[in-house]
């Protein structure tokens, strides 16, 4: 739709203006720094940062109902830079000119309602938001679109040249980083560090295909992260882990989309996400806070963070009800099918602590919860979801298991409506499905397959069939007729059609 066809009062807002005044703020000492330079931690105290808009109050001058109409009309605009996460430009990157924005098709992933069988089984109405339908097949693209658009902006302004981007990854960060960096060829080169044998073959193929330098490191993600941190402190590289606060900004779009897709009515809404490095839950909380403060939504949804028993430092931290007595203790992770969340020392923990407190205070009651689930339940709920029309990855299974557990604990009421995050596409993690079907899980996973959830292909090759077709070697008419007849007979027998 062309701008001149929009309602007169919305027209001036359709193309976002470049204003706002972003700064990095340290969550430790409160120090503020300008964004002209890439910063990952506070130069004074070393804590993580969040990006704030010093002019945020200008967004409150536009009434909530006008914002809602701006976003709804903006969805009809055909300008590529506004088709993805920057539909919410004013809230996630107000300093970026539209021609700096990198858009590869990320964002606006569908929310798909579970069928009635599933809703009955879970005891509550719920939707999957399929973030596996992003370009590199995980939600990480939201944050990369933001981080790389900002880098592009710095390159265009002449503040940066010949960028080498670098990240540690449990698989999906590197896939997204390598994809977005490759789009900026030849100005950006990318290097990714992966824990050896701890990412799936599909995830490994992604940065290789995008032309990144791929390094496999002994150990787990937390070990890779330390190496990347050492590299980024010593050398001139652009760190693309969620320590980079620009990643958080882009991932806030997830919350904005949920608000918009549910017509900005958050009253009975529950948003459930898995937690690994805790960047995503940071962004989700912050996103809803921004929409609440500007009157775009008039209540804050419940937010539930889910962790596996095998990687549960955030869950453990919040087990202590008294905030003064809480103490963060990193855990040593055990093998998990929610492999992208297998992190014992989440980088964003200080952000979570800060924002959970803020969120609950704004809501005037406890609205953020944490749940732990077993590996067994993660696998089972993933398989059940996908037997009912979904494309959930193991982390999607984890959020669904979390919903069911939260429902049992009374955190989720029967009148609530839940939106659960399938953070990646099922295909990225199909190896775990295979291990389940073939009963091949090593003991330390604590997963024993149930017969009725297993599945395997059946080879039909009747013993009496002497001749079968092969590529390039068709059968003669009679043999072929016999082949078709015998094979269909066998299949019909197994399917109990006869």
The rounded radius of gyration (Å) of the Cα atoms in the chain is: 24
Closer Cβ to ligand PLP, 206 or 280, answer by number: 280
Instruction: Give the DSSP letter of residue 8.
Output: T
Q: Which of ligand PLP, Zn ion, none binds 31 (CB below 5-8 Å, type-dependent)?
A: Zn ion
- Residue position matching structure tokens 């806070």: 289
Q: Is 43 in the site for Zn ion (CB under 5 A)?
A: no
> Which residue number, 138 or 294, has a Cβ lying nearer to ligand PLP?
138
In the list 136, 174, 269, 423, the residue contacting ligand PLP (rule: CB under 6 A) is: 423
Q: Tell the smallest beta-carbon distance from residue 172 to ligand PLP (Å).
A: 3
Pick from 302, 304, 296: nearest CA to 257: 296
Q: Which tokens in the block code for residue 119?
A: 């809703």
Measured distance CA(294)–CA(456) in Å, rounded: 52
- Judged by CB under 5 A, the residue of 44, 162, 444, 485 near Zn ion is 44
Single out the segment in contact with ligand PLP by CB under 6 A; choices: 8-16, 269-277, 407-415, 440-448: 269-277
271 is an interface residue for ligand PLP by CB under 6 A? no
Instruction: Evaluate whether 129 touches 400 at the Cβ level (below 8 Å).
Output: no
Q: Could you say which of ligand PLP, Zn ion, none residue 104 binds, taking C-beta under 5 to 8 angstroms by partner kind?
A: none
Q: In this chain, which stretch among 71-79, 194-202, 270-278, 458-466 interacts with ligand PLP, using CB under 6 A?
A: 270-278
Local structure of 1: helix, strand or coil: coil
Q: N- to C-terminal Cα distance for the chain?
A: 57
Q: Which two tokens stand for residue 342?
A: 């297998």
DSSP class of 229: H
Contact region with ligand PLP (CB under 6 A), list: 42-50, 209-217, 273-281, 291-299: 273-281
Q: Which of 29, 230, 491, 492 binds Zn ion (CB under 5 A)?
A: 29
Q: Select the residue interacting with ligand PLP from 172, 375, 380, 416 (CB under 6 A).
A: 172
H/E segment holding residue 111: strand 111-113
Q: Considering the rule CB under 6 A, would residue 134 count as an interface residue with ligand PLP?
A: no
Contact flags string 299-338 toward ligand PLP, x per CB under 6 A: ----------------------------------------
Q: Which entry of Zn ion, ligand PLP, none binds 172, CB below 5 to 8 A by partner kind?
A: ligand PLP
Contact 122, 114 (CB under 8 A): yes
Return the residue of 260, 280, 294, 376 that touches ligand PLP, per CB under 6 A: 280
- Kindly tell me the sign of the dihedral angle through the C-alpha atoms of 160, 164, 168, 174: positive
Determine which residue in the list 114, 212, 278, 303 makes contact with ligand PLP, applying CB under 6 A: 278
Binds ligand PLP (CB under 6 A): choice among 68, 74, 89, 140: 140
Q: Is there binding between residue 393 and ligand PLP (CB under 6 A)?
A: yes
b/e per residue, 33-48, with b = 16+ CB within 10 A? eebeebbbbbeeeeeb
Nearest distance in Å: CB 142, ligand PLP: 10
Select the span of 110-118, 268-276, 326-334, 380-388 touching ligand PLP (CB under 6 A): 268-276
Binding-site partner at residue 275 among Zn ion, ligand PLP, none, CB < 5 to 8 Å by type = ligand PLP
Q: Which residues, 6+ apart, have CB-to-CB distance to 80 below 8 Å? A: 103
In what order do the strands lie in the sheet containing 32-34?
32-34, 22-26, 49-53
Q: Is 395 in the site for ligand PLP (CB under 6 A)?
A: yes
Q: Tell me which DSSP letter residue 373 carries.
A: E
With CB under 5 A as the rule, give the number of residues binding Zn ion: 8
Burial of 295 (0-12, 13-18, 19+ CB in 10 A): middle
Q: Residue 369 contacts by C-beta under 8 Å, 6 or more apart in sequence?
A: 302, 303, 304, 305, 406, 411
Stated length of the chain: 498
String marking each residue 216-255 x if it binds ligand PLP according to CB under 6 A: --------------------------x-------------
Please give the Cα distance from 448 to 451 (Å, whole number).
10
**Long-range CB pairs of 485-489, under 8 A, 24+ apart, other chains included:** 486/462, 487/460, 487/462, 489/462
The distance of closest approach from Cβ of residue 477 to ligand PLP in the complex, given in angstroms and rounded to an integer, is 52
Please identify, using beta-carbon distances, which residue of 376 and 423 lies nearer to ligand PLP: 423
Q: In this complex, which beta carbon is closest to ligand PLP, that of residue 100 or of residue 136?
A: 136
**Is residue 42 a contact residue for Zn ion (CB under 5 A)?**
yes
Contact assessment for residue 361 and residue 336, using Cβ atoms and an 8 Å cutoff:
no
Per CB under 6 A, does 340 bind ligand PLP?
yes
CA distances from 323 to 275, 283, 328, 364 (A): 20, 22, 11, 16
CB of 415 to ligand PLP, least distance (A): 28
* Assigned token pair, 240: 């693309």
Q: Which residues bind ligand PLP (CB under 6 A)?
A: 138, 140, 172, 242, 274-280, 340-341, 393, 395, 423-424
């Amino acid at each position: 739709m062309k701008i001149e066809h929009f309602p007169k009062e919305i027209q001036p807002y359709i193309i976002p203006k470049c204003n706002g005044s972003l700064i990095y703020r340290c969550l430790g000492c409160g120090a503020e720094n300008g964004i002209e330079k890439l910063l990952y931690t506070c130069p004074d105290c070393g804590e993580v940062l969040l990006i704030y808009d010093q002019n945020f109050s200008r967004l409150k001058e536009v009434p909530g109902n006008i914002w809602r109409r701006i976003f709804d009309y903006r969805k009809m605009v055909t300008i590529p830079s506004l088709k993805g996460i920057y539909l919410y430009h004013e809230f996630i990157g107000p300093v970026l000119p539209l021609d700096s924005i990198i858009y590869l098709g990320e964002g606006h992933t569908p929310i798909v309602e579970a069928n009635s069988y599933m809703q009955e089984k879970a005891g509550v109405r719920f939707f999957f938001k399929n973030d596996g339908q992003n370009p590199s097949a995980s939600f990480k693209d939201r944050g990369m679109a933001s981080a790389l658009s900002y880098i592009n902006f710095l390159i265009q302004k002449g503040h940066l040249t010949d960028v080498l981007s670098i990240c540690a990854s449990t698989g999906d960060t590197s896939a997204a980083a390598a994809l977005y960096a490759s789009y900026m060829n030849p100005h950006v080169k990318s290097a990714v560090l992966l824990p050896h044998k701890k990412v799936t073959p599909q995830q490994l193929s992604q940065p290789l295909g995008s032309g990144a330098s791929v390094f496999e490191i002994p150990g787990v993600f937390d070990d890779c992260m330390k190496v990347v941190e050492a590299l980024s402190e010593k050398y001139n590289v652009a760190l693309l882990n969620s320590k980079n606060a620009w990643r958080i900004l882009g991932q806030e779009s997830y919350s904005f989309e949920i608000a918009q897709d549910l017509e900005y009515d958050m009253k009975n809404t529950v948003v459930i996400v898995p937690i690994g490095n805790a960047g995503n839950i940071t962004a989700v909380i912050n996103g809803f806070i921004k929409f609440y403060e500007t009157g775009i939504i008039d209540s804050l949804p419940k937010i539930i963070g889910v962790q596996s028993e095998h990687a549960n430092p955030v869950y453990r931290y919040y087990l202590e009800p008294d905030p003064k007595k809480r103490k963060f203790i990193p855990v040593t992770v055990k093998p998990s099918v929610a492999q992208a969340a297998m992190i014992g020392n989440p980088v964003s923990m200080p952000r979570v602590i800060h924002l959970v407190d803020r969120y609950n205070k704004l809501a005037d009651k406890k609205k953020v919860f944490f749940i732990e689930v077993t590996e067994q339940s993660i696998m089972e709920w993933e398989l059940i979801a996908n037997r009912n029309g979904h494309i959930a990855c193991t982390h999607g299974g984890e959020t669904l298991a979390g919903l069911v557990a939260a429902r049992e604990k009374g955190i989720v009421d029967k009148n609530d409506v839940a939106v659960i995050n399938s953070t990646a596409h099922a295909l990225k993690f199909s190896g775990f499905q295979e291990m389940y079907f073939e009963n091949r899980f090593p003991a330390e996973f604590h997963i024993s397959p149930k017969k009725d959830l297993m599945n395997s292909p059946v080879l039909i090759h009747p013993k009496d069939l002497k001749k079968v077709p092969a590529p390039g070697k068709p059968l003669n008419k009679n043999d072929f007729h016999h082949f078709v007849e015998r094979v269909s007979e066998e299949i019909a027998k197994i399917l109990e059609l006869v």
